[in-house]
Amino acid sequence: MTLLHDAELSAAFDHAALAYDRLVSVNPGYHAHLRRSARRLRPPRGGAGLRLLDLGCGTGASTAALLAAAPRAEIVAVDASAGMLERAAAKAWPSSVSFVHAPVERLGEAGVTGPFDGVFAAYLFRNLTEPDRALGLVRSLLAPGGRIGVHEYALGGRPVDHAVWTAVCKGVVLPAARLAGDADLYRHLWRSVVEFDTAPAFGDRLRRAGFGSVRVLPMPGWQTGIAHTFVGSRAAGSGDAR
């Protein structure tokens, strides 16, 4: 099986949207880890006066995590999958949260423009055809001094990290996905992690994209070496056009 990309991947997420929340709920720590990564953005004052972008919001789990970390912020949540976005928007949200259907590459056409004080992206960049181009776009959307937070399955580089990830996917995730009729998407999930950057390599990718103060922070528990938070910032006074 080859990896899914672009419209094909969005269609697979559309199909999986109804069962997605049930499937991720079998992952111990899934929501707690998202909240941990959102807190690592360190939004001040509960987010008062801040404008934040949740890029690749899916069914809204990352949006909820960002809202918990910054309950007073304005949050714009974006996803390329109409099915996932419909599930997210149907949940109860304060008026400060809005949802936009758009792929990363077409945010401007959908009316999503900067500056943002922070960008949060969960499980996104390994699914993009051009992750470096997307990182450049994110940087251009950030206000000077703004921060990026990426929550991602990115293996730590040890053989045991690969072994644990594969065992969990083949022993738990893929059997559950087959029952839901979404095996192709979750096979893509397994392979996309194995074939994408290790955690140190993605940290380097952020630095090459022009982000400063980059830190690579592991998750606790069984996902140590598998899931990480990546944080960085756009230098104050940086002059990219928006």
Q: Would you say residue 238 lies in a domain?
A: no
The domain of 141 spans: 6-233
Q: Would you say residue 219 lies in a domain?
A: yes
Q: Which two tokens stand for residue 187?
A: 């096979």
Q: Would you say residue 239 lies in a domain?
A: no
Q: Would you say residue 66 lies in a domain?
A: yes
Q: Would you say residue 149 lies in a domain?
A: yes
Q: What is the pTM of this model?
A: 0.91
Q: Would you say residue 51 lies in a domain?
A: yes
List b or e across 127-141, with b for residues whose CB sees 16 or more CB atoms inside 10 angstroms: bbeebeebbebbbbb
Q: Would you say residue 1 lies in a domain?
A: no
Counting residues of the chain whose pLDDT is more than 90, the rounded percentage is 64
| Span 57-110, pLDDT tens digits | 999 999 999 999 999 999 999 999 999 999 999 999 999 999 999 999 999 999
| Span 13-39, pLDDT tens digits | 888 787 788 777 777 788 999 999 999
**Residue 3 reports pLDDT greater than 80:** no
* CATH code assigned at 90: 3.40.50.150
| Cα 15 to chain centroid, rounded | 19
Q: How many domains does the chain have?
A: 1
Which run of H or of E encompasses 160?
helix 159-168
> For residue 62, is it left (φ>0), alpha (ψ between -120 and 50) or beta?
alpha
Q: Would you say residue 240 lies in a domain?
A: no
Residue 199: band (very low, low, confident or very high) from pLDDT cuts 50, 70, 90: very high
